[in-house]
Amino acid sequence: MSQQKQASAKHHVAGYAFSLVLTFVALFVALYTSLPASVKLIGIVVLAILQMVVQLIYFMHVTEGSKIYQLLSLGYGIFVAIVVVAGSIWIMLYNTMTQ
Amino acid sequence: MDLFDMKMPDQLIVWGNPLINGAWISIILVTLGIVFVLTKYKKWRWLWDEWLTTVDHKKIGIMYIVSALLMLFRGGVDALLMRIQLALPNLEFLDAQHYNEIFTTHGTVMIIFMAMPFLIGLMNVAVPLQIGARDVAFPTLNAISFWLFFAGALLFNLSFVIGGSPDAGWTNYVPLAGEELTPGIGINYYLWGLQISGIGTLATGINFLVTILKMRAPGMTLMRMPMFTWSTLITSVIIVFAFPVLTVALALLTFDRLLGAHFFTIDGGGMPMMWANLFWIWGHPEVYIVILPAFGIFSEVISTFARKRLFGYSAMVVSIVAISALSFLVWVHHFFTMGNGPWINSVFSITTMAIAIPTGVKVFNWLFTMYKGRIEFTTPMLWSLAFIPNFIIGGVTGVMLASAPADYQYHNSYFLISHFHYVLIGGTVFGCLAGLYYWWPKMFGFKINERISKWAFWVFVIGFNMTFIPMYLVGLKGMPRRIYTYREGLGWTGLNFIETVGTFVMGAGFVLLVWAIIYSIRHAKRDYESDPWNGRTLEWAIASPPPHYNFARVPRITGQDPLWRAKKKGETIFEEKTPLKPIHMPNHTGIPAVMAGFWFVAGFGFVFEWIPVGLAGILGVLLCMMWRSLTDYHDHHEVPVTELRDAAAEEIKNAGGRSARGVVNDG
């Protein structure tokens, strides 16, 4: 029991450290580098995807449990994420009727 | 911004308007009354032990429902005040500012603090019982959800007497809601009240998702679950995916207002329209969060009182799953007129109309469930029957609004207002009331008086139609929403007057409803009948009110409507011969209420931009989390077999010697 407890604590601390590092790297890229804006943007998006992977593996137990539930929930999550991100970009870019 | 600058708003204590002075006086009197009663009858200990620290899903459900009824009263008073102001042209009952505040709080209170908690309360009461579980998956988290809702609602409702209400509408559109156009603290109340209660709702979504997927009794496969449980499952999925968007949008607007960021301001490269976009990415799924559980309730009630199994069960399931996916694809129809290109509006018009298909499937399924059924006109059934025509009026006008070119005519008029009241009252409120009547005997062991309740029903439904049919007409005559007065000679006066009278009739219906409840609490016979409606699902197989562990023996499920099947065959669904075993149950804990108290302090501090107070509250929240994570290995106890035996004997005694279950009442 206590060994299991320790292992899960280690796992959580590692996940926490990874997510903090990714956050600070994103901040550093945005605030303290002189890269062109488009490169910064791509960098932040890549870091965000890595952050998502860290969250899924270390905190959301994506590697455990029933495969079918994991696939369904990941699939639905990706569907909603694409709808929200792509939909928002589409709507905000082509908001031209009143300009 | 100076961190320790505790600046005072212009008017910390709102005083001067006779309405608000009256509210102050009544708040103080009611608070003193509560304190007096609790002290006189020595009930403080009882309040703490039985309610404030409980993790029992049934008690949490009851607290949700009581809070929601209070919020229904508050939102209803807001509605009455608006209707008095608009009864005739050029009235000066409310000024423009006060009117803006009231329509903002009416909308926010009714959606966030009335409709959702009412439904979540009913889910708490019924879902674990329907699937044969002894509690939800995370009982302490469930209590945290409730107390976060409570803290958020309390914070939001304080606004009108301390510091001033939000006044930018329940959608809180920027730039109006930005720091530049609306300085002061009203909007901060909106942001923090919704943020705190929204986190609680997100936790509820996770909790019920896990509960339904992982805690079902043996044999309760997904396709044997009652329809209310199905709708709760799908609602939880929508909550889990939609609420983070609200959390982020509120946080970004908080950064704008509190820390001078520029996410939604034009200067600094922000996009005001992005607020509307994010708000409705959450807001449209939110509409389904409040309607799907109501659909589930109607399915249960109609099937019970038509004495037939639900027609087209699998079509119903496919429909709600389809609605859950479509609910994320339609949000632009809330702002067709914001200047989107024709492609965008066309696509979202089509997706919006597509939602009418699964919804129509469900309506036909309810009708076919009743076809050739032996219908019994109890109060929950009356609310369900009234739901069908009223909801269809709302739904059909919704399809009219879905057509983007036509929407340019209807948008921002009272036609739109009437549409969403028909779906939200005719759907959600009728559903909440049907569910309240249906599960009341399970919660308390007696029915609400049917005679007074039927009066309440008819008065309410007539008042509702009297209010909102003229609203469609006055909308078509061009009356815009969010105006605090209008001039004579526009042809709006007569219709507005009828609406106001109708609102008072609805108010009378609410008073009758409350009277029915009070009358029944005082006079109704406590028969503690386990199955008063001749029900079909598991919750009616156990005592009313159920013991805190729900099921002494875990039931074995062999098909849909397990109790009905067992009654037909004269069997019992519990294996009475197997020996009782001690039951593992969670302990009561004060952490949820204390943690929500700290959230309240944090919210209050940040509303007034008193950063040290806000940070102190957050620190308290973190300490509660630490305390919880260090003690969570000692948070359960075992219910001994002797207690289970005593409870079973008590149940048989309450049932007056007759067997509590296993008999089909004919009729």
Residue (of B293, B133, B277) closest to B205 by Cα position = B293
Residues of chain B with Cβ-Cβ distance to A96 below 8 Å are 339, 341
At residue B246, what is the residue type?
L
pLDDT of residue B565 exceeding 50, the answer is yes
Which of A76, A79, A95 is facing B340, going by the closest CB pair?
A95
Q: Is B345 helix (H, G, I), strand (E, B) or coil?
A: helix
Contacts A80 to B, Cβ<8 Å: 241, 328
| CA nearest to A84 within chain B | B281
Cβ(B233)–Cβ(B212) below 8 Å: yes
The CA distance from A14 to the nearest CA of chain B, in Å, is: 18
What does the pLDDT read at residue A4? 60
Helix residue spans in B7-138 (DSSP H): 18-40, 44-46, 57-86, 96-108, 116-130
Ranges of H-type helices in B174-271:
186-214, 227-259
Residue B659 has a pLDDT of 46
pLDDT reported for residue B658: 46
A interface with B, Cβ–Cβ below 8 Å: 69, 76-77, 79-80, 83-84, 87-88, 90-92, 94-99
The confidence score (pLDDT) of residue B662 equals 40
Q: How far is CA B206 from the centre of its chain?
A: 17
Question: Kindly report the CA angle at B317 between B311 and B322, in degrees rounded to 5?
Answer: 130
- What is the C-alpha to C-alpha distance for residues B629 and B188, in angstroms, rounded to an integer? 31
Q: Report which residue type is found at A66.
A: S
Interface touch B341/A94, C-beta < 8 Å = yes
Mean pLDDT of B526-538: 92
C-alpha pair distances (Å), B613 with each of B4, B256, B258, B397: 10, 20, 14, 48
Assess whether pLDDT exceeds 80 at residue B665: no
Task: Verify whether the Cβ–Cβ distance A69 to B213 is below 8 Å.
Answer: yes
Range B543-573 burial, b when 16+ CB lie within 10 A, else e: bbbbbbbbbbbbbebeebbbbbbbbeeeebb
Residue B273 Cα to chain centre, angstroms:
28
Whole-angstrom Cα distance, residue B164 to residue B187? 9
Between B576 and B200, residue with greater pLDDT: B200
DSSP symbol at B637? E
Question: Phi/psi of residue B95, each to 5°?
Answer: -85, 175
pLDDT band, very low/low/confident/very high, at A2 (cuts 50, 70, 90) = low
**Largest separation between any pair of C-alpha atoms in chain A:** 65
**How far is B485 from B303, CA to CA, in rounded Å?**
46
* B210 in contact with chain A, both atoms CB, cutoff 8 A: no
pLDDT in tens, B146-192: 999 999 999 999 998 998 899 999 999 999 999 889 888 999 999 99
pLDDT digits (tens, 9 = 90+) for A46-96: 999 999 999 998 888 888 878 888 898 889 999 999 999 999 999 988 776
Distances (CA, A) of A6 to A15, B28, B550: 14, 52, 35
**B window 268-297, beta carbon within 8 A of A:** 271, 273-274, 277-278, 281
CB atoms B339 and A95 under 8 Å: yes
Contact B214, B253 (CB under 8 A): no
Q: Which helix (H) or strand (E) holds B296?
A: helix B272-306
The answer to whether residue B353 scores a pLDDT higher than 60 is yes
Between the alpha carbon of residue B88 and those of residues B93, B284, B507, the distances in Å are 11, 34, 19
Which residue ranges form the domains of chain B, and what is each CATH number? Answer: 1-244 (1.20.210.10), 271-536 (1.20.210.10)
Number of H helices, E strands in chain A: 3, 0
Contacts A83 to B, Cβ<8 Å: 328-329
pLDDT > 70: percent of chain A:
89
**Tens-digit pLDDT profile for residues B242-258:** 999 999 999 999 999 99
The two tokens of residue B22 are: 């009256």
Tokens of B25: 């006086």
Is residue B54 pLDDT above 60, yes or no? yes
